[in-house]
Structure 1
């Protein structure tokens, strides 16, 4: 009996799991070895302790470009152009590197600039040209800078806008406190739900990226709903762990789509973008 017939014969017996075990073990070991190598490299080379930054895999970038294209109804080629635009913004990159090196929290931040899914945020702002963006959760302000850079580009093309960045930590947003980006950023310190309730102008694009508990995420979307401008775009950074925005979209008659990023050379499995429009 040749090897193929033997394997097929064994597969029909109770010995099949035992015979398959070495191959299954080898596959798991190869996967775990990759994760362990990435983890060891990160532990040695990175300073970050949360809000990890990384590049996306090539395939994940392709998927993100199509995600933005569908949500914003723009050609995918334009989306790729906006990705290249933010990644080629040398002035912003140098600012982030310099501000990170000089910050009081520099011991817990990497100087290398890596935007990951935030290039999707940038492209969405470029595509929709919002007059008022609201983001909850600021941390260092990397996302705020990305949003501000998109708004500045829009302003150069005759479509000015501002971003209201909400965080409960008074030290948050140090990357976004330098001109020209600070010129379009309003940093507000306080509870995000209360701050949303105090907004005095319509919101064209809303991004949840603060407390990632299901209850708090729901409170934010409920609070912002009456503040939204017609045709507003809702985004969440929490889409890989909750279904809050999808449920909100269903209740309010919107469409919903989710994207999950894949980090390149990193142990962290990544976050994503949920969109309702």
Structure 2
């Protein structure tokens, strides 16, 4: 009898293939799968008050109204259209599931935050196609300064190398440092070597343990006034727990895309915290 869905078996085979050459990665991935399974059975979902994208932008905006001007920048429109065309072009091949490509609102938020902060050091966890990475790097290019450090375990797919970070244009890669590895294993050493962090973006494994670990690791390195962005915060209470650190601003955005970068318009939920 044929297997109805062979994908789990393919994933298991690829996972086991890591043991001889990348044993630490095998252990990290296996632990992540275990966490996902346990949380589906017993996870507690947050019940935080949310706001719309427009309301969040007003909270982020300063007295000079920079946010609306940033959203109208030609560079933002350029990277949006380029990314939309690219994702449409590779949809038939689609090495990664579409859910791993950042939504249009979260990608714009990355651009806006970078333009507002004019950061020297940006960290992100989770890359996949590199959609958020591309928006961040385009903003850094507009600023004329800054480096993006990306930490990611690429999805277990064959030929992932063809698509991992494919959304990042060659002309923006000079400011990009891509590190393969789990955030738990890779972030601490990188943070010690880079100094204070201006902007941190979480979009990797959305489990309670992983998100808490990332936030606990990064928060002491985040400069006062620095921003932490986290996608899919509705899945557990990790982002809600950040309020115990008394951030200057803490918001959860729940909205729906109007101009998606790929596929159909979808609901989005993400968090914004300012130290």
The question of a shared fold, defined as TM-score above 0.5 by the shorter chain, is answered with: yes
SS in 1 for 2:206: coil
Alpha-carbon contact 1:137-1:167 (below 8 Å) kept:
yes
- What residue ranges of structure 1 are gaps of 5+ in the alignment? 1-61
Q: CA 1:129/1:209 → structure 2, altered by over 3 Å: closer, same or farther?
A: same
Q: CA 1:175/1:253 → structure 2, altered by over 3 Å: closer, same or farther?
A: closer
Q: State the alpha-carbon separation in 2 of the partners of residues 208 and 91 from structure 1.
A: 21
Q: Point out which structure has higher relative CO (alpha carbons under 8 A, 6+ apart).
A: 2
Q: State the alpha-carbon separation in 1 of the partners of residues 56 and 62 from structure 2.
A: 10
Alignment of 1:230-241 (within 5 A): 230-241=224-235
Q: 2:181 aligns with which of 149, 167, 190?
A: 190
Alpha-carbon contact 1:65-1:80 (below 8 Å) kept:
no
1:123 aligns with 2:91: no
Q: State the alpha-carbon separation in 2 of the partners of residues 166 and 108 from structure 1.
A: 17
Match of 1:139?
128
Q: State the alpha-carbon separation in 1 of the partners of residues 87 and 56 from structure 2.
A: 32
Match of 1:207?
201
Alpha-carbon contact 1:237-1:274 (below 8 Å) kept:
no
Q: 1:243 aligns with which of 237, 240, 249?
A: 237
SS in 2 for 1:271: strand
Q: CA 1:89/1:203 → structure 2, altered by over 3 Å: closer, same or farther?
A: same
Match of 1:42?
none
Alignment of 1:72-221 (within 5 A): 73-76=62-65, 78-85=66-73, 89-90=77-78, 93-94=81-82, 97-98=85-86, 101=89, 105-106=93-94, 115-155=104-144, 160-169=145-154, 171=161, 172-176=164-168, 178-199=169-190, 200-201=193-194, 202-221=196-215
Q: CA 1:268/1:88 → structure 2, altered by over 3 Å: closer, same or farther?
A: closer
Larger Rg: 1
Give how far 1:256 is off.
1.2
Q: What is the aligned length?
A: 208
Q: State the alpha-carbon separation in 2 of the partners of residues 149 and 65 from structure 1.
A: 22
Match of 1:22?
none
SS in 1 for 2:132: helix
Give how far 1:237 is off.
0.7
1:270 aligns with 2:243: no
